[in-house]
Structure 1
Amino acid sequence: MNPIIMTVVLIVSFGGFFYFLNRKIQLILKLKPEMRWDVFGMRVMKVLTFGLFQNKMITGDPKAGFMHAVIFYGFMTLLFRKIQLIVIGYSEDFVYPGLIGGAYAWLKDFIEVAVVLAILYAFFRRLVVKPRRLEPNKEAMVILGLILGIMVTDFMYDGFKFALKATESGELASLAVPDLVHERHFAFVGSAVGTALSGLSLVVLKVGYHLFYWLQLALVFGFLVYLPIGEHFHILTAFPALLFSHNSPLNKVPKVDLEALMEAMEDEDADEDMEPEVGIQNASQLLWKDGLDVFTCTECGRCKDSCPTFLTDKPLSLKWVNDSLKHHLMDVRETLLAEKTDELPDLVGETISEDTLWACTTCGYCEAACPLELEHLGKIYKMRQYKVMMDTEFPDELQDAFANYESQSNPWGLNSATRGDWAKDLDVAQVESEEQVADLDYLFYVGSAQSFDNRNQKVAKAFVKILKEAGIQFAILGGEEGSTGECVRRAGNEMLFQELAVTLVETLNEYGVKKIVTCDPHAYNSLKNEYPEFDGNYEVIHHTELIERLLREGKISVSAEFEKVIYHEPCYLGRHNKVYDAPRSVIDQVTRDEPLEFKLNRHNAMCCGAGGGRMWMEETIGSRINVERVKQAVEGPVKPSVIATACPYCTVMMTDGVTDQGLEEEIQTLDIAELVAKSLVTEV
């Protein structure tokens, strides 16, 4: 070939590649630092599992996942082919020697055929199947065409090469190169193409030989230069994104150091640059990992499949947020690098709309579904924190909710002293002393919904019936019970959350509470996962887990009283805390037939729409999430007679959805505690 041209091509191509790569790396490194290299062994295992072995990619969507895996492994395998092509630029007849070289020639052809088939399937999906999550994308089509072109030109190059230099008989036998003849014996596709081309003239063979060699290199190195510019940058950043992904739970909300913030605000001489930051106002406050994530997003759209906002036509999906932030970061790149943070525009506004920010239910599906574990909720929480605590700009409906939580520790503003009134006629003990608590099996944390909402009070009463039947020693806090503050925290009011949390922890610790049971997955999540940060260390169990254990241990017995029961998965019980089997085990024991399942179930379950403070906000864009979920319940071949829940907010949302669809005469919405209470076999 031509060593001079090859050298120029290499210098220009790699020069362009590193230039564009450096533009993004500089930007990422300029963002807010955070340590992401603890538990390194676990991080490496994540790279191997989700990166090298494509675990999430394949299990999340087998057909598309297998297609991607073929292309991924094809790229990995064909790197050796590209090295060979570069060497050929300096030593024209270079081949990998011996049996290993022959085996690789066969493998290379096999992989390239597989990649061609995968690319054709990718075109079929985008042009014919058109999954809802895949938006029209010209760049994706160009890249698919580019990869297909690389495969085809390689076959054609091999074909012309073998026809010209690896023919063992006829007029061209004198030009045969032994090493190429050896390679041809293994390269079954290239050999077949060579046979088909063998009738062409010597001039045509030489032209084709050189043309397809340089054409393939043009495609390969053109792709290399474009790689750090377009959305396929993830080819370079996917493994680092997995390596540095968070190891904290999906449900963790970034904590604001309020004590340091208040001290800084009171100190008139304090340096403004040293004041603790509250949330995210502009791009400079994004973490470096946030920057890596937005540039890594593959735009596969998996985050949309069970996203309640996307499925109900609201302006939010993880993919859209990443895309908006990616373009914004490039737009303000020079300002960020110059550290002119005062000139940066607020993120919430033109980049992330108010409707987008407040649409999120914090169900966590997008993060759980992302094959590269890109992070979303942390950014949403922080942007909400800034809007609430610094800008004091948030949906009007939250104003009343915040005020009510602050004054009465519940969203309705009802007298907190009456929190235990629902249990007046049930002979339920209220906590009075540490000695009393020491003799309890559990403190029953009731929560605001079951304390004040008439519908959910029935659930609390049903659970009390079960506890008494099982002989469980329990008590409630009554008027001393405060809200966990889970809702206000996810709505961005971190200050109010911490006030509520500290107050509740003081009460619980004063009485020496060690074990807590609750029917509310949101309270369960906060008490179990968030309260340890505030010196609240308790053994927390959800009521479905306790009921399942009581049944398993024979402390209660039930009869099969129900049929056609479908279970709606609470996000903060299932996806956020991985409690999937206990509720189903209980339902199975109170039903006469096989319990039904939503098409979107378990880790793919769709939210009811109440999380993230959405319970207290109006839903004015698109269709209603709870109504869509009820429609999903009845779309199967068997219409359910009961929608079972395990969350007070899900109970309200599903009940309202059933009513909206005019199905209240046909479908009941019942908590699992109600199913069990109605099915109890009481010993006489």
Structure 2
Amino acid sequence: MNVIAQTEVTRETYYGISSVEKVLFYFLAAVAILVFLFGVYARFARYAEGDDDPFPRVDDLASRVVAASKIVLTNEKQFNRDLYGGLMHAFIFWGFLSLFIATSILAFDEYAYGLVFDASFWHGDFYLAYQFMVDAMGLLFVVGLGMAMYRRYWVQNERLWGRHTSLEDTAFVWILFLLGLGGFALEGIRIYATGMPEFEVVSFVGYGLAMGLGALESMGMSESLATSMHWWAWWSHSLLAFFFIAWIPYAKPFHMLSSFANVVTRDEKTGKRLPGVPADLDATNAESIDDFTWKEILDQDACTKCGRCSSVCPAKASDRPLDPRNVILDLKSYRESLNAGGEERPIIADGGTSVIDAETMESCMACMACMDACPVEIEHLQSFTRLNRQLVDQGDVDSNMQDVFQNVMQNGNTFGDSPRNRADWADELEFDLVDARDEEVEYLWYVGDYPSYDERNKRVARSLATILEAADVSFGILFEDEKYDGNDIRRIGEEFLYLELAGHHVESFEACDFEKLICTDPHSYNTFENEYPEVDFAEFADDPMMPFEYDEYWNQRGEIEVLHWTQAVEELVQDGKLALSGTELDYTVTYHDPCHLGRYNDEYEAPRELIRATGCDLQEMPRNRADSFCCGGGGGGLWMDFDEEPKPSEERLREALEDTDAGAGVEKFVVACPMCMTMYEDGRKTGGFEEDIEIVDVAELLVEAIGERETAGLE
């Protein structure tokens, strides 16, 4: 055997293994593959038991697979906010994939090409290139695993540990590490045992190990001993590999398959739109684990426990009892316990023995930071909304939220104020507002609850009205026909009240003659743009409980352009309809990206362009754009009281004053959302920042820049 290895540029695949042992090897390989296939089948069979998903998940499958492959192969999500983690995962992924491809090539050469042509292409230059690449990628694989072990066990990165951390996590990384090291050890022993052929230098890691064995000759190392060692190493490595293959579908390694499937079946609009509910009142949301859709079950299996969602969650950072990872994994653990004959429990309830506690879900701000950070595209908000709807069904809702629901049902707004007072905010303007119900307008302006009733946000509404008037555009409002948009109560779980509001508004919109719908609040913008067009109003129009007769889809093809006001005004500035050239406001400011404008709808630049147009010096906070830190007001946080330290708004203001390049030189904290305005004004007081920074809306900067503060009633 040694002569062949030294004179021909190749090697014997089963060096030192007898014919009987090869048969045993094939048998064990077949068993491992069968166990693997059965496990994969059983896993995917479970998804078929889940409810149908309301959104298309496998349409245009080829394009989905291509797009998912790009995401997975580039590791782009792993590099998001974490260079070390990105490199670590890329090394492991590409190393593992390369070794798998290399094994497949070897199998093809021996069992396909060899049988057909009675020859081998695994020699000469191909062999040399093959061996070099295997060593290079195998080294990356081992280095990546070393980085993972360093982060997990030496640094003990906090987000990698939690109540769902288990022995399987340790076994997963150690088995891969031992497979990587074992492969190199096996190679080094073989090279030494076959007389150190010069061409094997291309296997630079294995050759280096072989040289190390040569240095031990004075201690009794010899080619015959190495041959014996090779036998033991070969079988140890093979048995560990077979165990790993068979183990994949039954533990954490399954994420290698489920994660890819999860990326393939993701919804591009996830979070910004939510699944509807059937008109059938007998339908349940989360009474049992069987209510979850197959995609939500796949989400649970795809979770790798990496903790990225936990590390960016503002609720967790504020010590609220929410950890997005734990919610997903708690549901998975409960499902698996039932499969093993465990006792059924309530999925969610206010205290007791439920799988998820009501307070956990009440803590969610619906900011989508968890989903943005997740490298495997888990759609947390879909499952969270299902849980919230179950809370509403059960009546286990925070008392403050019950008051909000009551206010909306009785008066059409979250304040409980009279609908007749909805446009009173405009009384201090020096011009009259047009009633869009009576006159044709270019812009139908949905003002929103807080700009209509909250004293601080009324100033923002007057500023925006003045800006639109100064641009000499035709705009009008709905006056008392405007109600609360419903975006946040939907995320809290009050779906039927949301449907009532949506039906009322689309009927009001249809009765008006306008070209564009603009919104003060990003929350309103999101629900009008992404959710109202999804509602099948015909399914509910005949329900006597629903106060509308509209029986079509609204704006499903996007005939009506829906805009956040910053997008509309940026267009006016670009078109020269709002003169800002030469304007100079001598302020150093920072800007906070609202979740519903930024992460939800990818609009980051329009507000910034308007701020720069005023002449302000815009200083970015470290967490900006998609990485923005929620104000704490979303998902009902605006209306609920939490025992939290620090408040998300306080942490964000601290960041503005301490972590930006301008530091304490930041004079104004600029927002583009009424909820953000409310939360940050509160945080400025509770955090002791009243003397340090001022909270302003982009509209207030603009109205000052055009010299119309008095017209807006702000003097």
Q: TM-score, normalised by structure 1?
A: 0.89
Contact 2:650–2:683 (CA under 8 A) maintained in structure 1: yes
Check the 8 A contact 1:557/1:682 in 2, yes or no: no
Give, in angstroms, the shift of residue 470 of structure 1: 1.1
Partner of residue 190, structure 1: 206
Contact 1:123 1:141 in 2 (8 A): no
SS in 1 for 2:135: helix
| CA spacing shift, 1:399–1:59, aligned 2, 3 Å | closer
Indicate whether 1:664 and 2:670 are aligned: no
Deviation at residue 86 of structure 1 after TM alignment: 7.7
Query: What is the Cα deviation at residue 237 of structure 1?
Result: 1.7
**In 2, are the aligned partners of 1:608 and 1:626 still within 8 Å (CA)?**
yes
User: Within the alignment, does 1:160 sit opposite 2:164 as a pair?
Assistant: no
Q: Following the alignment from structure 2 to structure 1, what is the Cα–Cα distance between the partners of residues 428 and 315?
A: 42
Please give the residue correspondences for 1:269-308 in structure 2 after superposition, counting only pairs within 5 Å. 275=282, 277-308=283-314
Is it true that 1:366 corresponds to 2:395 in the alignment?
A: no
Cα distance in 2, alignment partners of residues 486 and 81 from structure 1: 52
1:239 to 212, 235, 260: 260
Match of 2:347 in 1: 347
Q: Does residue 380 in structure 1 map to residue 384 in structure 2?
A: yes
Q: Does 1:5 align with 2:27?
A: no
Which residue in 1 is equivalent to 2:621?
Answer: 598
Higher mean Cα deviation, 307-316 or 645-654?
Answer: 307-316
User: 1:490-509 counterparts in 2 under 5 A?
Assistant: 490-509=491-510
> Which amino acid counterpart does residue 160 of structure 1 have in structure 2?
I
Gaps of 5+ in 2: 1-16, 115-119, 538-552
SS at match of 1:58: coil
8 Å contact 1:68–1:118 — kept in the other structure?
yes
State the distance in 1 between where 2:447 and 2:273 align: 22
In structure 2, relative to structure 1, the CA distance for the partners of 1:41 and 1:89 (3 Å cut) is closer
| SS of residue paired to 1:565 | strand
Per-residue CA deviation, residues 584-621 of structure 1 (Å, 9 max, x unaligned), is 1111222443x111211101111111111221111125
Q: Which structure 2 residues correspond to residues 131-146 of structure 1 after superposition, within 5 A?
A: 131-135=157-161, 137=165, 138-146=167-175
Helix, strand or coil: the match of 2:669?
Answer: strand
Distance 2:696 2:678 in 1: 10
Alpha carbons of structure 1 residues 290 and 189: separation in structure 2 relative to 1, 3 Å: same
Q: Which residue of 2 aligns with 1:586?
A: 610
Tell me how far apart the structure 1 counterparts of residues 266 and 708 of structure 2 sit (CA, whole Å).
51
Which of 650, 675, 692 aligns to 1:627? It is 650
CA–CA separation in structure 2 for the residues paired with 1:362 and 1:379: 12
CA contact 2:51–2:290 (8 Å) conserved in 1: yes
Give, in angstroms, the shift of residue 334 of structure 1. Answer: 5.5
Cα distance in 1 for partners of 2:591, 2:236 equals 57
Residue 563 (1) aligns with residue 592 (2): no
What is the aligned partner in structure 2 of residue 401 from structure 1? 404
**Residues 315 and 304 (structure 1), Cα distance of their counterparts in 2 relative to 1, 3 Å cut:** same
1:192-271 aligned at under 5 Å gives the runs 192-198=208-214, 199=217, 200-258=221-279, 260-261=280-281
Question: Which residue identity is paired with 2:134?
Answer: K
Paired residue for 1:468?
469
**Residue in structure 2 matched with residue 61 of structure 1 by the alignment:** 82
Check conservation: 1:164, 1:202, Cα contact below 8 A.
Answer: yes
1:87–1:483 distance in 2 versus 1, CA, 3 Å: closer
Aligned residue runs from structure 1 range 566-577, under 5 A: 566-577=590-601
In 2, the alpha carbon distance for the partners of 1:573 and 1:50 equals 24
Give the drift of 1:135.
1.8
Shift of 1:249: 4.2
Structure 1 residues 250 and 487, CA, compared in 2 at 3 Å: closer, same or farther?
closer
Counterparts of 1:493 and 1:513 in 2: how far apart (Å)?
A: 30
Given candidates 397, 421, 433, the residue that maps to 1:429 is 433
SS of the counterpart of 1:380?
helix
Contact 1:302/1:366, CA 8 A, preserved across alignment: yes
Q: Does 1:547 align with 2:569?
A: yes
Percent of counterpart pairs with the same letter? 29
Q: 1:660 deviation in Å?
A: 1.2
Instruction: Specify the SS of the correspondent of 1:540.
Output: strand
Find the residue that maps to 2:695 and give its secondary structure: strand
Partner of 2:640: 617
Q: 1:57 is paired with a residue of what secondary structure? A: coil
CA change 1:238–1:432 in 2 (3 A) is closer
Q: Aligned partners of 2:133, 2:236: CA distance in 1, in Å?
A: 22
Distance 1:682 1:325 in 2: 55
Q: Is the 8 A contact 2:195 2:223 kept in 1?
A: no
Q: Secondary structure of 2:130's partner? A: helix
Equivalent of 2:330 in 324, 333, 346: 324
Instruction: Please state whether the residue corresponding to 1:541 is helix, strand or coil.
Output: strand
Shift of 1:31: 1.3
| DSSP 3-state at the match of 1:110 | helix
Distance apart, 1:477 and its partner CA: 1.5
CA RMSD in angstroms comes to 2.6
Q: Is the 8 A contact 2:271 2:382 kept in 1?
A: no
Which residue of the partner structure matches residue 38 of structure 1? 59
Q: Which deviates the most, 545-554 or 232-241?
A: 545-554
Among candidates 122, 139, 151, match of residue 125 of structure 1 = 151
How far apart, CA to CA, are the structure 2 residues paired with 1:479 and 1:451? Answer: 11
Residue pair 1:6, 1:86 contacting (<8 A) in 2 also = no
After superposition, the C-alpha distances for 1:111-150 in whole angstroms (9 at most, x for unaligned) are 1111222222222222444444222645434332222211
Q: Are the aligned partners of 2:586 and 2:616 in contact in 1 as well (CA < 8 Å)?
A: yes
Change (3 A) 1:553 1:86: closer
Q: How much does 1:196 deviate?
A: 2.6
Q: Secondary structure of the equivalent of 1:607?
A: coil
**C-alpha displacement at 1:384, in angstroms?**
1.3
CA pair 398-166 structure 1, distance change in 2 beyond 3 A: same
Other-structure match for 1:177: none
Contact 1:309 1:315 in 2 (8 A): yes
Q: What is the number of residues matched between the two proteins?
A: 644
Residue identity in the other structure for 2:443: Y
- SS for the counterpart of 1:482 is coil
1:546: Cα distance to partner?
A: 2.1
**Gapped runs of 5+ residues in structure 1?**
169-180, 262-274, 337-342
**Counterpart contact for 1:303–1:365, Cα < 8 Å:** yes
SS of residue matched to 1:443: strand
**Residue 333 (structure 1) aligns with:** 339
Pair 364,89 (structure 1): closer, same or farther in 2 beyond 3 Å: same
Cα offset, 1:49, TM superposition: 1.8
1:59 to partner: Cα distance = 4.1
- Cα distance in structure 1, aligned partners of 2:645 and 2:323: 14
- For the residue of structure 1 that corresponds to 2:202, the secondary structure is coil
**Cα distance, 1:330–1:89 mapped onto 2, change above 3 Å:** farther
